[in-house]
Chains A and B, each alone.
Chain A
Amino acid sequence: ETGVTQSPTHLIKTRGQQVTLRCSSQSGHNTVSWYQQALGQGPQFIFQYYREEENGRGNFPPRFSGLQFPNYSSELNVNALELDDSALYLCASSPEAGDNEQFFGPGTRLTVL
């Protein structure tokens, strides 16, 4: 176990709805990165938060937004869900925003119907 937790484990939503996914980083880590992993593919970088500020963003539309709290836990919000948003959403924490090893949580499986 990496000490990174995510909730919920599974989630089913319908197209057009909004969803919030949560991540608690490992103790002592101030950086959280979010990834989307479609079935059978590698993870795609969504964005990273470092000390409550966004610190880099991948090629995802603005309806994907995030937040990091003072305790360094984080949320991923997705508005106007589309069928293609169905995926495993992974959160990874690291000690700093620099090039450190990232520790992944178990993921949240989102299904959009």
Chain B
Amino acid sequence: KNQVEQSPQSLIILEGKNCTLQCNYTVSPFSNLRWYKQDTGRGPVSLTIMTFSENTKSNGRYTATLDADTKQSSLHITASQLSDSASYICVVSPYNGAGNMLTFGGGTRLMVKP
């Protein structure tokens, strides 16, 4: 069964600090891995998309890494801001070309405190 596991489940950091969120997956073969940011009660918003051949991708203060051999990804947030408080969801797309069976992780709930 395709699974995506994220850790930690929740995290509290002080404003200005960095943090790293982890994602392990069993989806194989896979097409791409996505990180989404979801504010409470809102829809997810895409941060990064990486294919299996990419190792890293940045979007402002967000940097995602991917190790396809170990099936691990991380999302690093630099110089955190209060607005970074949200859930971060890792999503893996299986390599079937359909894009209709994305597997979502349970998310990491990040809280940034002043």
Contact = CB atoms under 8 A, between A and B. Distances in A.
Interface of A: 2, 4, 31, 33, 35, 40-45, 48, 50, 55-56, 58, 88, 90, 92, 94, 97-107, 109
Those 8 A-B pairs whose CB atoms lie nearest each other, nearest first: A104-B43, A56-B100, A42-B104, A99-B99, A48-B100, A42-B106, A43-B104, A104-B44
Nearest to A99: B99
Interface of B: 4, 31-32, 34, 36, 41-46, 49, 89, 93, 97-102, 104-107, 109
A33 to B, nearest CB: 7
A101 B100 CA distance: 11
Contacts of B46: 101-103
A102 B102 contact: yes
Contacts of A44: 104
Given A42-B104, A101-B46, A88 B98 contact: no
Nearest to B104: A42
B99 A97 contact: yes
A112 B79 CA distance: 41
B45 A97 contact: no
Contacts of A107: 41-43
Contact of A4 (B43, B97, B105): B43
Nearest to A41: B106
Contact of A43 (B41, B44, B45, B93): B44
Nearest to B109: A40
Nearest to A1: B45
